Amino acid sequence: MTRALAAAILVAVFGAPAAAQPQIDWSKLEIETTHLGSGVYLLNWQGGDSLILVEDEGVVLVDTSVAAMGEKIKAAIAKVSDKPIKLVINTHAHADHFGSNELLAKGGATIVAHETLRERMAKGQYLAAFNQTIPPSPPVALPTVTYTDAMVIHFGGETIQLFHPVGAHTDNDTLVHFKRANVIHASGTIGGDGGYPFFDMSSGGSLVGTIAAEEKMLSLSDANTKIVADEGAPASTADLKASRDALVTIRARVQKLIDEGKSVDEAVAAKPTQDLDARWVHQGSFLTGDVATRMAYQSLKGP
């Protein structure tokens, strides 16, 4: 998630004072490439990332950022492989995850995603969480291969398992498991840089679904698994387990406050995340303990 989007969340959902939203100069962003093992690389830049799998047959790319990053992503891939980008997987329909689809599809890539992602891209979206209108995507940018629950892709020597967690970061997430490389892309279901995860309720995301997504990833993980959020350095299985535990604790505490009849403001004032915030709130992050509590309350209580 970009910092501009994070700032917009504060304003749109939580009524926070409208801080000046940082404008991102995409032309200045530099992509750092890190080998995670067995041909899987993390392409990382300020506020976002993609994953690639490099095989003799070609390259698989997970997430395509915004349109302004497309040529940069292609250039970063070209430094690692001279093979064509054959397959693109979009993890979810936030605008910074599918923006270069058109460029890559025109270059010959097949685009794969959850069925609901295709519907959202085709129709266009208004995402209240970001106060953002995303126009309908041109047909060429849409996934041509979609699935609903799970799918397996065999590519070169790798087995790529796709799982759809129901109502997690959004309603159209794909968890991408590179089995041989022991790497999972979490879509947005763990927090970038070790923060609390954000679930976009305006896109069908939820606290309970995010916990279930983390449980699913734990079931796929061993001590050496690398779990990639939608920005920042990969998390470890221990980090993932700690995130799941923190969310389960928050769910129980906030549910108790709801059961006691507390309003959302009273629940926030009770500071149910206070002992967790030192680990999960980073300086300057929009996702403070108060925001995490408000999100949990809204998600558990429903509209």
Least Å distance, CB 147 to Zn ion, is: 19
Q: How many residues bind Zn ion (CB under 5 A)?
A: 2
Question: Toward Zn ion, which CB reaches closer, 102 or 173?
Answer: 173
Tell whether residue 114 is a contact of Zn ion (CB under 5 A). no
Among 39, 48, 188, 204, interactor with Zn ion by CB under 5 A: 188
Q: What is the DSSP letter of 77?
A: H
Other C-beta atoms closer than 10 Å to the C-beta of 169 total 29
Cα–Cα distance between 152 and 222 in angstroms, integer?
20
Stretch of 33-41, 75-83, 91-99, 294-302 contacting Zn ion, by CB under 5 A: 91-99
Tell whether residue 94 is a contact of Zn ion (CB under 5 A). yes
Cα–Cα distance between 256 and 163 in angstroms, integer?
31
Phi then psi dihedrals of residue 175, to 5 deg: -85, 125
Least Å distance, CB 224 to Zn ion, is: 26
Cα–Cα distance between 157 and 40 in angstroms, integer?
12
Cα–Cα distance between 242 and 282 in angstroms, integer?
16
Tell whether residue 3 is a contact of Zn ion (CB under 5 A). no
Least Å distance, CB 145 to Zn ion, is: 21
Question: Toward Zn ion, which CB reaches closer, 91 or 182?
Answer: 91
Stretch of 111-119, 182-190, 219-227, 277-285 contacting Zn ion, by CB under 5 A: 182-190
If you write DSSP's letter for every residue of 49-69 in order, what string do you get? EEEEEEETTEEEEE----GGG
Least Å distance, CB 163 to Zn ion, is: 17
Least Å distance, CB 66 to Zn ion, is: 12
Question: Toward Zn ion, which CB reaches closer, 70 or 188?
Answer: 188
Cα–Cα distance between 61 and 68 in angstroms, integer?
16
Q: Are strands 125-127 and 132-134 parallel, antiparallel or unpaired?
A: antiparallel
- The residues that touch Zn ion, with contacts defined as CB under 5 A, are 94, 188
